Amino acid sequence: MIRLEKVYKSFGTNEVLKGIDLEINSGDSMVIFGASGSGKSVMLKLIMGLLKPDEGDIYIDGKNINELKRSELDELRTRFGMLFQGAALFDSMTVYENVTLGRSEHGDMSKQDRIECARRNLEMVGLAGTEYKYPAELSGGMKKRVGLARALCMEPEIILYDEPTTGLDPVSADKINDLIIELRDKLNITSVAVTHDIYSAFRIGRRFAMLYEGNIRFDGTKEEMESSDDQVLKDFLSHH
């Protein structure tokens, strides 16, 4: 469903990605982990088409996203839900407005349907009745869940999670992990999460890839990861 081929991305002299090859299949629950600054967010932005690779190609359902027209890219993006690091809510908008933002922008849903969409998805993330609150009235964990409700409101086929549990206390973090697992199992949405929280990675993922010095250092199952002899991987696992 998603394929990266020899993807390179630099910012000035900072070579962040140095020939990434990665394939994510439909229904996968993939976790990409790596140290802070290793290029995880950059990778998600490349998959979303928010950044362009310097070299290499990214395919979604066999289509090279670099070759898509603006309108085709917009169309493709409607199939993605993204939970941004820090949730990225607008403080001046109510929870309801934040959750339905994408649908308002696309203008493809009546107000009545948007209200229903917000109600249903806020209930899904355990925040029923918060429609008319403002982000400032919510805790960090609740904001992340509003961000998740917003992603769900797009009825995505693919959800990308950027550090879904970072900055949360352990109880809130586990609530988010539980929700991600529930979405994976109930809705069968393909998901790609990036995190440096290895506990969260193990809870939500079925397949794991380690980003290290611009390359995919490891790609496989939990069992393969645990039995790997790679010292770099072992060090990461024992320190995170």
Ligand X SMILES: Nc1ncnc2c1ncn2[C@@H]1O[C@H](COP(=O)(O)OP(=O)(O)O)[C@@H](O)[C@H]1O
The contact set with ligand X (CB under 6 A) reads 11, 14, 16, 34, 36-42
Residues 26 to 65: which contact Mg ion by CB under 5 A?
Answer: 40-41
Taking the CA atoms of 62, 66, 70 and 75 in sequence, report the sign of the dihedral they define. Answer: positive
Left, alpha or beta for 65 (phi > 0: left; psi -120 to 50: alpha)? Answer: alpha
What is the gyration radius of the CA atoms in the chain, in angstroms? 18
Toward ligand X, which CB reaches closer, 86 or 220? 86
Map tokens 């959800």 to a residue: 159
Q: To the nearest whole angstrom, how small is the minimum distance from the Cβ of residue 145 to ligand X?
A: 21
Helix (H) or strand (E) holding 70: helix 70-77
Toward ligand X, which CB reaches closer, 40 or 207? 40
81/192 Cα distance (integer angstroms): 10
Q: To the nearest whole angstrom, how small is the minimum distance from the Cβ of residue 24 to Mg ion?
A: 18
Which entry of ligand X, Mg ion, none binds 81, CB below 5 to 8 A by partner kind? none
- Token readout for 192 is 């790609």
Toward ligand X, which CB reaches closer, 149 or 193? 193
Toward ligand X, which CB reaches closer, 40 or 114? 40
Toward ligand X, which CB reaches closer, 80 or 84? 84
Q: To the nearest whole angstrom, how small is the minimum distance from the Cβ of residue 127 to Mg ion?
A: 25
Q: To the nearest whole angstrom, how small is the minimum distance from the Cβ of residue 38 to ligand X?
A: 4
Which entry of Mg ion, ligand X, none binds 36, CB below 5 to 8 A by partner kind? ligand X
166/100 Cα distance (integer angstroms): 24
189/27 Cα distance (integer angstroms): 6
What torsion do the CA atoms of 63, 69, 70, 73 make, to the nearest 10 degrees?
-10
Which entry of ligand X, Mg ion, none binds 145, CB below 5 to 8 A by partner kind? none
DSSP string, 187-213: H--EEEEEES-HHHHHHH-SEEEEEET
Q: To the nearest whole angstrom, how small is the minimum distance from the Cβ of residue 166 to ligand X?
A: 10
Catalog residues that contact Mg ion under the rule CB under 5 A: 40-41
